[in-house]
A and B are shown apart, each in its own frame.
Chain A
Amino acid sequence: MRLLDVLTPMQLERVKAALAKPALYGPDIDVRDYLLAEGPAAEVEVDEERIREVGIDLERAKRTGYFMQIDSESVRYMSRLPGVEVMSIEEALEREPEVSRLIWKLVDPAADKYTAVAALRGRGGYFVRVKKGVKMEEPVQTCLFMVKGGLQAPHNIIYVEEGAHARVLTGCTIMPESFGLHAGITEVYLERGARLDYVMIHAWSRGTHVRPRTGVLAGEGAEVVTYYINLSTVRTLQTYPRYILRDGARLHSVSLILGRGSSIIDVGAKAALGGRRAAAEILSRVVARDSSKVVARARVEGAFGRGHVECKGLVLSDVARVEAVPELGAVGRGVTLTHEASIGKLSEEAIAYLMSKGFSREEAESILVRGFMNVELVDLGPQLTAYVRNLMNLLARAAI
């Protein structure tokens, strides 16, 4: 079964109509070129250096579990982790046709032109399933790599069974000279009491438009911890993952965004508190330099539970722009929602203080940016924790 065959005739009609529909947020781009049939797959060697840059440790991954896609082809995948399945979405559909029931349930294929392109032309993507009660220490590492450019629209499914604890590290990157559109679809299901730690790094190039679409359903008492990090220049990037939290489910979402060059970035997250004792915390730290424009959004809404939104921005140049858009929506008396937002610049007083102790101006600024980015890390296990810390350091260095 191909991905396209998952769509019902009625969905197909809606999807075709959605090809002209801009996304709610972010700059509108022309997707018509990406609808053309693709040429043959690129004959490429995997550029391991570029892959290392997004934190994927292939040597380690070969001993645990990984998935790698180049352009639209799932090129390698395997799992040596007991109770953890990793395969291409095509293989998953072939082996278990009922996997198709998980596709386009949390993301509407007709949501906008990017989901529509993905629905019509998408290929590849991973299927990761963690069996009931299995606790992962090391993450599955997945890498979505664009080499020849054009369209990359994988469809990823993560399914975490009851009480299991999954860890996934995803790095997405492109060869620097390539141009293209990445419209990855990711749908995540957590059964009762399951947990997912999900770390994603984006390292695109100035020729890439990026429109990932993500939907997450956290069942009763489930927990989602997600860290999203953007390090590199990108042409345009817009994403707004949606989380549905059932009774007692919890979300901790952190976005660390560096706007560089003339990047236009619009990143957010939305949590719907769908059950009692549900709790969502959405944090973002944005650093904008050069002539970048970054919008950080966050919305928590619902009738139950607690939510907190925190958007903090740091502007490092006279022309960079940051917008923080925290939103709260409550229905009834059963919900408590709070938010905090601030945008500022580096403190000259703090820079001078550090310079008076012997740091160069660049070092002082880098210390302050690193501090600004220093959100608390929940327990992600040693490998993911070290990885996120390292990325924070890289980000602070890249910001100055």
Chain B
Amino acid sequence: MAEVLTAEGLRARAGDSLIVHRAEFGVREGETLYIVGPNGAGKSTLLKALVGYPGIEVDGRVTFMGEDLTGVPMDERARKGLILSHQFIPRIEGVTVRELIEMVARVSGSGTSAEEVADMLEIRHLLGREFGKGFSGGEMKRVEIAVTLAARPKLALIDEPDSGVDVESALIIAEGIREIIRRSPARSVVIVTHTGFISKYVPPTRVCIMRSGVLGPCSGPELLDRVLREGFRIEVA
């Protein structure tokens, strides 16, 4: 199977702190890769490092669809199809959810309509609302998955889609993630979670543990079951 994304010798620093000490991994075609780990393990910073987020200093090499992304700014990476789906969304004053989805659909050329993704993520009632203002946890996650769909990622890196959401929202978000996978050419996705809740609905094909800034070990879906039973401190052969 071809590698969609690879990270080699990746280290990431935010300000003076080294957050990601070592990450070496690849995402293959058709893979639903879970990165699990406790709070503060560096999972979100790892995703930010992969997309070239401003303020994150990165050593090592990221390759996406065969192309070396070293030095490529975040917006260009996004236009190449590498899209970060955020854990939290900012408030954008004076811009409605509908407007933002439509703008993202335009810039990505996805042609996705706001109504279509709104129906899928059950956020039609939020379309006219100001982006990020006064949303509940579940609404925020559903809106972010809708925006990510509108961006039509070749590979989505989804940060904590299940934190702070109820079962109803989790089911809807899971359907959104499955749709993101269906619409991506390589049928792959990366999901970061510390609860593993979403894995009930979007099963992993591979699981990596991240602890204290170090990614790995990685193994099959059974690793997540073990983590959920025994915690993150398990010994893995």
| Residues of A near any B CB (own CB < 8 A) | 347-350, 352-361, 363-364, 367-368, 370-374
Assess whether B14 is interfacial by the CB under 8 Å rule.
no
B228 in contact (CB, < 8 A): no
* B91–chain A nearest beta-carbon distance, Å: 8
Contact, CB under 8 Å: A357 / B89: no
Distance, CA A352 to CA B86, complexed state (A): 11
Q: B94 contacts A352, CB within 8 Å?
A: no
A382 CB → nearest B CB, Å: 20
- Interface residues of B, count at CB 8 A: 25
CB contacts under 8 Å to A, within B59-102, are: 73-75, 78-79, 83-84, 86, 89-95
Q: How far is the CA of A349 from the CA of B75 in the complex (A)?
A: 14
Q: What is the number of contacts between chain A and chain B, taking CB atoms within 8 Å? A: 68
Q: Does B25 contact A (CB under 8 A)?
A: no
Is B93 a contact of A372 with CB atoms below 8 Å?
yes
**Shortest Cβ distance from A344 into B: residue:** B93
A358 touches B94 (CB 8 A): no
Secondary structure class of chain A's binding surface, majority of residues: helix
Contact B95 A370 (CB under 8 A): yes
Task: Check if B134 is an interface residue, CB within 8 A of chain A.
Answer: no
Given contacts A357-B107, A370-B95, whether A350 and B90 have CB atoms under 8 Å apart is: yes
Q: List 9 A-B contacts (CB under 8 A).
A: A350-B91, A353-B89, A355-B54, A356-B75, A356-B83, A358-B79, A358-B83, A367-B92, A367-B103
B75-A355 in contact (CB<8A): yes
Taking CB atoms, residues of chain B closer than 8 Å to A371 are 92-95
A352-B53, A358-B75, A374-B95 known; A363+B90 contact, CB < 8 A: no
Pair B94/A357 contact, Cβ less than 8 Å: no
Give A352 to B91 CA distance when docked, in angstroms: 12
**Which residues 112-167 of B sit at the A interface, judged by CB distance below 8 A?**
147, 151
Contact for B83 among A357, A360, A367, A368, CB less than 8 A = A357
Across-interface contacts of A364 in B (CB, < 8 A): 75
B40-67 vs A, CB cutoff 8 Å, 1 = contact: the mask equals 0000000000010111000000000000
Please indicate the chain A residues that have their CB under 8 angstroms from the CB of B75 in the complex.
355-356, 358-361, 364
- Complex CA–CA separation, A106 to B226 (angstroms): 81
| Contact A349 to B84, CB < 8 A, known contacts A357-B107, A358-B79, A370-B95 | no
Within the assembled complex, what's the spacing in Å between the Cα atoms of A373 and B53? 27
Instruction: List chain B residues, Cβ under 8 A from A347.
Output: 90
Chain B residues with Cβ below 8 Å from A374 are 93-95
B90-A359 in contact (CB<8A): no
A372 touches B94 (CB 8 A): yes
* Complex contact B74–A349 (CB within 8 A): no
A350 touches B92 (CB 8 A): yes
Chain A residue, CB-CB nearest to B107: A358
Which of chain B's residues have a CB closer than 8 A to the CB of A359?
Answer: 75, 103, 107
- What's the least CB distance linking B64 to chain A, in Å? 14
Given contacts A363-B107, A367-B103, contact A355 B94 (CB under 8 A): no
- Give the 8 A-B CB pairs with smallest separation, nearest first: A371-B94, A374-B94, A358-B78, A371-B95, A355-B75, A350-B90, A356-B84, A358-B107
- Quick one: closest B residue to A350, CB to CB? B90
The reply to whether B92 and A368 contact each other, CB–CB distance below 8 Å, is yes
Tell me if B195 counts as interface (CB < 8 A to partner A): no
Q: Does B207 contact A (CB under 8 A)?
A: no
Q: How far is the CB of B46 from chain A (nearest CB, A)?
A: 15
With both beta carbons as reference points, the residue of chain A lying nearest to B47 in the complex is identified as A356
Task: Say how far A283's CB is from chain B's closest CB, in angstroms.
Answer: 13
The one of A349, A358, A360, A370 in contact with B90, judged by C-beta atoms closer than 8 angstroms, is: A349
* B108 at interface by CB-CB < 8 Å: yes
B90 pairs with A356, CB closer than 8 A: no
Which residue in B54, B89, B93 is a CB contact (below 8 Å) of A348? B54
Cα A374 to Cα B92 with chains together (Å) = 11
> Which residues of chain A are near B79, meaning CB under 8 Å?
358
In the complex, what distance in Å separates the CA atom of A374 from the CA atom of B130?
11
Residues of chain B contacted by A352 (CB below 8 angstroms): 53-55, 74
In contact, B90 and A357 (Cβ under 8 angstroms):
no
Chain B positions 194 through 233: 1 when the CB is less than 8 Å from some CB of chain A, otherwise 0: 0000000000000000000000000000000000000000
Measured between alpha carbons, how far is A347 from B131 in the docked complex, in Å? Answer: 14
Residues of B near A370 (CB, < 8 A) are: 94-95
Residues of A within 8 A of B54 (CB): 348, 352, 355
Which single member of B53, B93, B151 contacts A358 (CB below 8 Å)? B151
CA distance A368 to B103 in the complex (A): 12
Known contacts A352-B53, A352-B54; 10 additional CB pairs below 8 A are A347-B90, A353-B92, A356-B53, A357-B108, A360-B75, A361-B75, A367-B92, A370-B94, A372-B94, A374-B95
Docked complex Cα distance between A363 and B90 (Å) = 17
With contacts A358-B79, A360-B75, A361-B75 known, is A353 near B94, CB below 8 A? no
A355 and B89 contact, Cβ closer than 8 Å, known pairs A348-B54, A370-B95, A371-B95: no
Cross-chain contact A356 with B86 (CB below 8 angstroms): yes
Does B7 sit within 8 A of A, measured CB to CB?
A: no
User: Is residue B192 contacting chain A, with contact meaning CB distance below 8 A?
Assistant: no
